[in-house]
């Protein structure tokens, strides 16, 4: 049986991306950060790893794969979005929001899209 070992993001600056994602998720580097690769792991316990690999390919405006980060409710979501913006994330002008969207689309310091989800809705 297979399991997900790591989600991999292509980045143009591994150090910058590692700084953003460690602050965002409370993760730590599994080993020393190299110029072209790092694997980030939860500081406490187990969980999905996030690997950052040097990439020269352009960021996809409409990525087929992205991260969903869960917040507890609308207030938590709003607070987390503001915290992430303070860490260097950017709001994405997303034309595809449904009327009752429970998510906010942001981009990390490398332009990779991700969502912050309000999981407090039924």
pLDDT tens for 3-32 read: 888 999 999 999 999 999 999 999 999 999
User: What does pTM read for this prediction?
Assistant: 0.92
Give the count of domains, the chain.
2
Tokens for 14, please give them: 């591994």
Tokens for 23, please give them: 């602050």
Residues of the domain holding 50: 1-55
Q: Mean of the pLDDT values across residues 61-89?
A: 95
Strand 103-107 with 90-91, pairing: antiparallel
- Are 9 and 48 in the same domain? yes
- Are 50 and 90 in the same domain? no
Q: Which residue has the tokens 């409710």?
A: 73
- The torsion angle over the Cα atoms of residues 15, 65, 48 and 121, rounded to 10 degrees, is 120
- Are 84 and 118 in the same domain? yes
- Are 27 and 76 in the same domain? no
pLDDT confidence bin for 122, thresholds 50/70/90: confident
- The residues pairing with 115 across neighbouring beta strands, listed in sequence order, are 68, 105
- Are 4 and 41 in the same domain? yes
Residue 50's nearest CA partner among 9, 84, 106 is 9
């Amino acid at each position: 049986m297979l399991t997900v070992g790591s989600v991999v993001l292509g980045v143009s600056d591994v150090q910058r991306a590692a700084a953003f994602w460690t602050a965002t998720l409370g993760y730590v580097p599994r080993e020393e950060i190299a110029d072209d690769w790092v694997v980030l792991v939860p500081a406490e316990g187990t969980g999905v790893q996030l690997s950052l690999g040097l990439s020269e390919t352009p960021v996809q405006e409409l990525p087929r794969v992205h991260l969903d980060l869960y917040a507890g409710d609308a207030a938590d979501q709003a607070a987390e979005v503001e915290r992430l913006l303070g860490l260097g994330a950017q709001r994405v002008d997303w034309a595809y929001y449904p009327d009752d969207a429970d998510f906010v689309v942001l981009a990390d310091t490398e332009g990779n899209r991700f969502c912050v989800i309000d999981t407090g809705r039924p």
